[in-house]
Amino acid sequence: MTHSAIKGLNGSSGRRQFLKRTLLASGGALALPYIIPASALGRDGKIAPSERIVMGVIGVGGRGSGDLNWMLGEQDVQFVAVCDVHRGKREKAKADVDGRYGNTDCAAYRDFRDLLDKHKNIDAMLIATGDRWHAPAAILSMKAGKDVYCEKPGALTIAEGQALVQAEKRYGRIFQTGAQRVSESNYVFAGELMRQGRLGKIHTVRAHLGYLPAWPRVNAVLPAETEPAKEEMDWDLWLGPSPWRAYNPAFLNSWPVPGWYTQYDFAGGIPQWGSHTILQCQMDLGLADTSAVEYEYPEKGINGGMTVRFANGVQLIAQLEGWRGSCGVRYEGSDGWVATADGYERPDVSAPQLFSEYKKLVKDYTDRTQRPLNHVRDFLNCVKERKPAVAHAGVAHRTMTTNLIMDICLDLKRSLKWDPVKEEFVGDPEANKLRSRVMREPWRV
């Protein structure tokens, strides 16, 4: 009995009565009511099966494995199926799940369509595939009635992002993009300083880019090698909606060149890091429902940074330097600034007094939003409460649009203007054609 199936049973007494009625119907009530295990009723600190969120996962490589183990730590989650095109990865993930629950019940699949078809009882999916698969797998999962926690970037094209938003609405699902820093205290504090006006009038925000690919972005041409057996590594399914290319194992690595992370067909350029940091900046500015309107082509090269502007006049500068750690943001106003990144014990501030109410400002955020400082937990709570996640599909799409237009600007080598209401480039038919890509049959969004 999944979480979604017991919404009418409120409270533990209701669940007990349901169990008793079920046992009576099976003819076993007289003998069994007194030996129902405490875990089945939610006693002794255990989560009753009726309160658990039943989950599956698509993509269990490096990031997927980390997310899976993060979610396995949540007491009200139960994974029942894993999927990966690599046999070794899916078998390891199955072993991790089975080890967590002390059984051998977890199913393992090569093709995620089989998982969705055979597990109607699943409430939610974790998706941590390569970038080219994020939006298609998420949309098909939502169409199958599943809520979705999907790693960033949320989409590889603007059209995919639009389809993601439509699917979330059409199928009434909960979607969370995996921008976990939105739910971390240092980043929350930086955002609260800005939102509460303690930095004065904001004029500039800076977003860290951990690395940049070469421009113009290209696809490496590598010699064909013999494909593995499909059950060992399904190359066709690995490619998915991307254009066909001959198998070469070098593409299976994320990095360095020619790993998939570096290839135009498989990944974005700016979005690789901007899906963390540009998203964070837009969230904290209160601009996650729109996108930047002006994109300035950096004539001296991208390594010096790139500037975009929002309709309210605030400029965002994406740059390589400026922090002691990765995924940094910096917010600059008329009265001060704040900066933070991964690994900071506490954010840097322009004046010590700005840091004096760190705990209060973080508490202000949690009190106002009723959001936990745990991105996975926020998703799980929203699955149960049926309310939008903090980084829902609209956030993923609008912030990714900013990222993707920066890519298009660099690819076309000219500045661009964007209409975020019409979601089209102003007076630039060539740029408008790049809002989508042709997808390889049979894949669609």
Question: Which distant-in-sequence residues (6+ apart) come within 8 Å of 182 by Cβ?
Answer: 188, 279, 280, 283, 375, 390, 391
Could you give the residue range(s) of every CATH 3.40.50.720 domain in the chain?
3-180
Q: Phi, psi at residue 357, to the nearest 5°?
A: -115, 40
Name the fold adopted by 181-214+269-433. Answer: Dihydrodipicolinate Reductase; domain 2 (3.30.360)
Report which of 293, 299, 239, 228 is spatially closest to residue 266, judged by C-alpha positions. Answer: 239
Cα(202)–Cα(332) distance, rounded to whole angstroms? Answer: 6
Architecture in CATH for domain 3-180: 3-Layer(aba) Sandwich (3.40)
Mean pLDDT by 10 residues, the chain (445 residues): 44 43 43 45 68 97 96 97 98 98 98 98 98 98 98 97 98 98 98 97 97 89 97 98 97 93 95 97 98 97 95 98 97 98 97 96 98 98 98 98 98 98 98 97 92
| CA 30-32-35 angle, 5° bins | 140
Cα(67)–Cα(442) distance, rounded to whole angstroms? Answer: 29
Cα(88)–Cα(283) distance, rounded to whole angstroms? Answer: 38
Per-residue DSSP letter, 49: G
Cα(401)–Cα(436) distance, rounded to whole angstroms? Answer: 11
Per-residue DSSP letter, 51: G
Cα(176)–Cα(150) distance, rounded to whole angstroms? Answer: 6
Q: In the Cβ-directed half-sphere of 305, how many Cα atoms lie within 13 Å?
A: 14
- The structure's pTM equals 0.90
155 three-state secondary structure: coil
Predicted pLDDT of residue 3: 52
- 374 exposed, middle or buried (CB, 10 Å; 0-12, 13-18, 19+)? middle
Predicted pLDDT of residue 12: 40
CA distances from residue 89 to 64, 67, 96 in whole angstroms, order as listed:
10, 14, 11
Cis peptide bond N-terminal to 388, omega within 30: no
Cα(62)–Cα(199) distance, rounded to whole angstroms? Answer: 38
15 three-state secondary structure: helix
Region label for 371, one of left (φ > 0), alpha (ψ between -120 and 50) or beta (otherwise): beta
CA distances from residue 90 to 68, 248, 415 in whole angstroms, order as listed:
12, 21, 44
What is the distance in angstroms between the CA of the first residue and the CA of the last residue of the chain? 31
Could you give the residue range(s) of every CATH 3.30.360.10 domain in the chain?
181-214+269-433
Predicted pLDDT of residue 43: 54
For 95, other C-beta atoms within 10 Å of its C-beta total 14
Predicted pLDDT of residue 33: 43
Per-residue DSSP letter, 73: T
Cα(49)–Cα(12) distance, rounded to whole angstroms? Answer: 12
Structure tokens at 98: 């089975």
Helix, strand, coil fractions of the chain, as percent rounded to 5: 40, 15, 45
